[in-house]
Amino acid sequence: MFKQIDIKKMKFNPFKLIGDEWMLIAAGDEKAHNMMTASWGGLGVLWNKKVVTVYIRPTRYTLHFVDANEYFSLCFLGENKAPHAVCGSKSGRDIDKAKEAGLTPIFDNNTVYYKEARLVFICKKLYFSNLENQNFLDKKIEDFYNKNDYHKIFIAEIVKVLEKTD
């Protein structure tokens, strides 16, 4: 069971939350949905809105779902890294990732999140762009892109925060 909470009352370290705990970026509906593990992202304020910034490589199947939908979710599973092993290494093109990762989908606000999450951000897309290597000021960043698969960037408003109650 989840309850909606005020993001301004939350106490967390975004570097630990995203960089250490990781997250699932999920999108889609009851007909079709997918998720992927991510450990890159940001939280902040932009355009007078509370926003997240996420990065998705063009090769990821989840990108199709984020592109096609107005909303996506960020699901934080806490210390449980087992689903990330599946969601970060296998493609939803080939398997039912939710089933294989032991995740139970819940549908809300035109997107999907998972019962096993401890914290969920429901996000509405505001902006996207593609990283362009000619804009890298630190040329070592290019080392992350040996396949020239530069991330697509999404900035989205956090429209709802859900916290697990049980």
C-alpha 92/C-alpha 34 separation (Å) is 6
List the structure tokens of 26: 């999920």
Q: What is the pLDDT of residues 85-127, one digit of tens each?
A: 999 898 999 999 999 999 999 998 789 999 999 999 999 999 9
DSSP assignment of 8-25: GG----HIIIIIII-EEE
Average pLDDT of every residue of the chain: 95
Task: Return the H-helix or E-strand segment holding 98.
Answer: helix 97-101
Q: Give the predicted TM-score (pTM) of the model.
A: 0.95
List the structure tokens of 70: 């107005």
Q: What are phi and psi of 104, to 5 degrees?
A: -110, 110
Q: What domains are defined for the chain?
A: 2-164 (2.30.110.10)
Please, are residues 79 and 22 in contact by the beta-carbon 8 Å criterion?
A: no
